Structure 1
């Protein structure tokens, strides 16, 4: 079974980092409503646009989602 985007995102967590990827992962970890089982780009994107004030730019999500898809293909 393919892992969720959230499971992939959690591999990027690093509380000591100020890198955008790590900050997004750290903040998503604390977001109790994050769609943890979701794999679909549009559903996650919609959620983030409406609920994730901690994400300064959707470009960060787009780039991480692309990495998620690339890793999944290997």
Structure 2
């Protein structure tokens, strides 16, 4: 079974970084409702659009998703 997006995102955490993906990962870590087992783009995107006030732009998610797909390859 492939690694979930959340599992990948946690590898990008860095509390000392101002990189947008790292900041997203740091904030997602504290989001207890984040869909941690999800691997579907549409489901994660919908969740973030409705619940992630800490994500200033969905472009950051899109960038993180592309990094996730590259890591799965």
Equivalent in the alignment of 1:57: 57
Question: What secondary structure sits across from 2:48 in the alignment?
Answer: helix
Deviations 1:5-58 (A, max 9, x none): 000000000011111011000000000000000000000000000000000000
C-alpha separation between the residues in 2 aligned to 1:69 and 1:13? Answer: 17
- Which segments of 5 or more consecutive residues in structure 2 lack a partner in the other structure? none
Alignment size in residue pairs: 73
Tell me the secondary structure at the aligned position of residue 53 of structure 2: coil
With CA pairs under 8 Å and 6+ residues apart, which has the higher RCO, 1 or 2? 2
State the SS of the aligned residue for 1:56.
coil
Q: Which runs of 4+ in 1 moved over 4 A?
A: none
- Considering only aligned residues, what root-mean-square deviation do their CA atoms show, in Å? 0.5
Counterparts of 1:29-40 in structure 2, within 5 Å, are 29-40=29-40
TM-score (norm 2): 0.97
C-alpha separation in 2, matches of 1:6 and 1:25: 8
